[in-house]
Amino acid sequence: MILYKESSGISAYLEKQRQKGETIGFVPTMGALHRGHMALVETSAKHSGLTVCSIFVNPTQFNDPADFAKYPVTLENDLKMLAETGADIIFLPEVSEIYPAGMDQLKQYPLGQLETILEGKYRPGHFQGVCQVVHRLLEIVRPDVLYMGQKDYQQCMVVQQLIDTNNLPVRLETCTTIREDSGLAMSSRNMRLSEEDRSRAAEIYRTLSELKKQLKPGSLKALKGNAIKQLTDAGFKVDYLEICHALDLTIFDEWDGKTPVVALVAAFLSGVRLIDNLVLHA
Ligand code: AMP
């Protein structure tokens, strides 16, 4: 496994590999790695000649400075997991490598309604930050395939839009959400939960699974209201729980029984913000 800290170094190395005909798979992360991240690395390693993984806690995507300050860092363990899972090249840039001109006048991306609903609504500026970092990383790594997790459903849509509007020569491959046995979606933020809260957090997946069972054509209002109550009663502070068109995230209050729909939720438990989603009808 080779480690790079400078963008010029990794770009030059990967260019040589590309000229030799290697295909490149890329897994961008913010570290504090877990089995969800490793599933992406494994998938890339299976399908690409070289697997690149970046670890960079991107300041521009945190709308809450306290969340940024508390983001877990477990570099030694991350590198061990990556070596064991088959990553070939690790990119560990400083902020100045990603934003060489500073962070004051970064490019803004047209994202349409994706920026004003769900995560976009509750984390203003978050998806601009995601686009800024992913665009820059794609320019440095120039992968054939970009691997991202369905756990961040809306983020995958934002990144696909980034790729499409900028004609970036990369394919986005979305990988299914990896969960604990309890159903809790794996997340770096779970490390900040107490043992007791971690088991309570499984209520999110139970609620989503219940929604899936109860989904039927007609009004969705009672279904959504019950799900929010279930979470609130379990001690969560819910930012949103919505049922949306699975392909463009338009929020539905009624369902026709045919359109593909996904339920998406964001909720705080003891000050830790957790997100999850489940496709209810494909
Ligand atoms: P993060 O380090 O949280 O920015 O995540 C890096 C990548 O891993 C993103 O594409 C996430 O969607 C993905 N990811 C995070 N958690 C999971 C999970 N539980 N299952 C699958 N992918 C995940």
Segment 155-208, tens digit of pLDDT? 999 999 999 999 999 999 999 999 999 999 999 999 999 999 999 999 999 999
Per-residue pLDDT at 274: 98
Say what the pLDDT of residue 74 is. Answer: 97
Q: Which of 206, 205, 238, 211 is nearest to 224 (CA)?
A: 211
Q: What is the mean pLDDT of residues 269-276?
A: 97
Which whole number is the average pLDDT over 136-141?
98
For 200, which DSSP code?
H
Summary mean pLDDT of the chain: 97
- What is the distance in A from the centroid of ligand 1 to the CA of 36? 6
Q: Whose CA is nearest to atom 8 of ligand 1?
A: 37
Q: How far is the CA of 278 from the centre of ligand 1 (A)?
A: 15
Residues 242-250 have a mean pLDDT of 98
pLDDT value for 277: 99
Q: How far apart are CA 255 and CA 243, in angstroms?
A: 9
Nearest by Cα to 152 from 2, 7, 262, 9:
262
Residue 26 host element (H or E): strand 24-29
Confidence (pLDDT) at 174: 98
Q: Which residues pair with 242 in a beta bridge?
A: 264
For 199, other C-beta atoms within 10 Å of its C-beta total: 13
DSSP string covering 130-198, please?
Answer: HHHHHHHHHHHH--SEEEEEGGGHHHHHHHHHHHHHTT-S-EEEEEPPPB-TTSPBP-GGGGGS-HHHH
β pairing state of 2-4 and 89-91:
parallel
Per this entry, what is the length of the chain? 282
| pLDDT at 227 (0 to 100) | 98
Contact between 233 and 269 under an 8 Å Cβ cutoff? The reply is: no
The amino acid at residue 152 is: D
d(CA 7, ligand 1 centre) in Å? 23
Going from the Cα of 148 to the center of ligand 1, the distance in angstroms, rounded, reads 6
Residue 37 annotated in active site: yes
Choosing from 37, 135, 245, 281, the catalytic residue is 37
- The predicted-structure confidence for 82-91, as pLDDT tens digits, reads as follows 999 999 999 9
pLDDT digit string, tens, across residues 16-58? 999 999 999 999 999 999 999 999 999 999 999 999 999 999 9
Pocket of ligand 1 (CB under 6 A): 29-30, 36-37, 39-40, 148-149, 151-152, 175, 177-178, 185-188
Q: Which of 33, 35, 37, 272 to mutate to test the pocket of ligand 1 (most atoms within 8 A of CB)?
A: 37
